[in-house]
Amino acid sequence: MLVLIRKIGESVRIGEDVVVVVQDVKKELVSIGIIAPRSVPVSKLPSQRQKSSPALAQGDPQQADPAHAPKPIGE
């Protein structure tokens, strides 16, 4: 696992088409934005808290719309 440190507004590029942007940090919660083509499936994985209830962790894949996403910092 690669561990990176990013501040609010900073981003990480994954491959050619995916950018993850740190939107906000409040206590133990981190809000991220994911910019990816519609052809790339994006979904949440179960967290430690959700493992006791797998039904809560499952959902439809989230599709990011790059046209409405924030611009990555430093590009």
pLDDT at position 73 over 70: no
In a domain, 30, yes or no: yes
pLDDT value, residue 26: 94
Number of domains composing the chain: 1
Q: Is 42 a domain residue?
A: yes
Strands 18-26 vs 11-14: parallel, antiparallel or unpaired: antiparallel
Q: Is there a domain that residue 6 lies in?
A: no
Q: Taking a C-beta distance cutoff of 8 angstroms, is the pair 54, 64 a contact?
A: no
Mean pLDDT (whole number) for 1-22: 94
- Residue 55 has a pLDDT of 46
pLDDT at position 72 is 52
Domain that holds residue 59: 11-68
Residue 57 has pLDDT above 50, yes or no: no
**Cα 33 to Cα 29: distance, rounded to the nearest angstrom:** 13
Task: Answer whether residue 53 shows pLDDT above 80.
Answer: no
The rounded distance, in Å, linking the Cα atoms of 59 and 25 is 23
Rounded to the nearest integer, the mean pLDDT of the chain is: 76
Which one, of 44, 43, 39, 31, lies nearest residue 65 by Cα?
A: 39
> Does 22 reside within a domain?
yes
Residue 75 lies in a domain: no
Helix (H) or strand (E) holding 55: helix 54-57
